[in-house]
Amino acid sequence: MLTVFYILSAITLGTAFLTILSKNPIHSAIYLVLCFFSIAGHYLLFNAQFLAIVHIIVYSGAIMILMLFTIMLMNLNKEDEQNKSVLTRFAAVIALGLVAFVLLATFIKAQPVIEGYQVSGQDYQSIKVLGKVLLNEYMVPFEFASVLLLVSMIGAVLLSKKEHINS
């Protein structure tokens, strides 16, 4: 089990670095999909099957398809790309360093909010129990989320359509 964890961790870190370092945006998107699949493998190691399936469906499926459509709609060409000045690159490195410092300081100073852990005896890892909770107690927010996703999908399609002018 530990070797599977190390293999998945190596795949996750390797594909994450390749996502960042790859020059081709399509290759970056493919590396990101591989990274998402390896993270879903980590969820399976934690015995969280529902999270693994949702992660694969939502991130590896929907989000990556949207990213690929965005990359293709932007029509990224090397000829159109302007070179950044040294000052711009230096400012980006400084900003990244400051953000990393703030995040590191936040993680070091963070205190746990819950001091004691109460066990209710309910198994929320089970897909059956989680489905009952979602569709009984949280039915209205669940339906609102589905309507919101539908409206945003329709809006994205309408925004991406090009108008044809008849002359």
- pLDDT tens digits for 87-128? 888 998 999 999 999 989 888 887 766 666 677 776 666 777
Q: How confident is the model at residue 152 (pLDDT cuts 50, 70, 90)?
A: confident
Residue 40 has a pLDDT of 93
Q: Which of 143, 105, 127, 104 lies closest to 52 in space, CA to CA? A: 127
Q: 1-108 architecture in CATH?
A: Up-down Bundle (1.20)
Angle ∠(8,12,14) on CA atoms, nearest 5:
115
- For residues 35 and 56, the answer to whether their CB atoms sit within 8 Å is no
Report the C-alpha gap between 10 and 140 in whole angstroms. 41
Residue 78 tokens, joined: 């090397």
Residue spans per domain, the chain: 1-108, 124-162
- For residues 16 and 35, the answer to whether their CB atoms sit within 8 Å is yes
- Helix ranges (DSSP H) in 22-126: 25-45, 49-55, 64-74, 86-109
Residue 134 has a pLDDT of 80
In sequence order, the 6+-apart residues with CB closer than 8 A to the CB of 76 are 25
Average pLDDT taken over every residue of the chain: 82
Residue 73 has a pLDDT of 73
In sequence order, the 6+-apart residues with CB closer than 8 A to the CB of 101 are none
Residue 160 has a pLDDT of 73
Count how many residues are written for the chain: 167
The answer on pLDDT for 82 being more than 70 is: no
This prediction has a pTM of 0.57
The answer on pLDDT for 148 being more than 60 is: yes
C-alpha torsion sign, points 2, 16, 53, 141: positive
Report the C-alpha gap between 166 and 30 in whole angstroms. 39
- pLDDT digit string, tens, across residues 41-76: 999 998 888 888 888 888 877 777 777 777 777 765
Q: How confident is the model at residue 11 (pLDDT cuts 50, 70, 90)?
A: very high
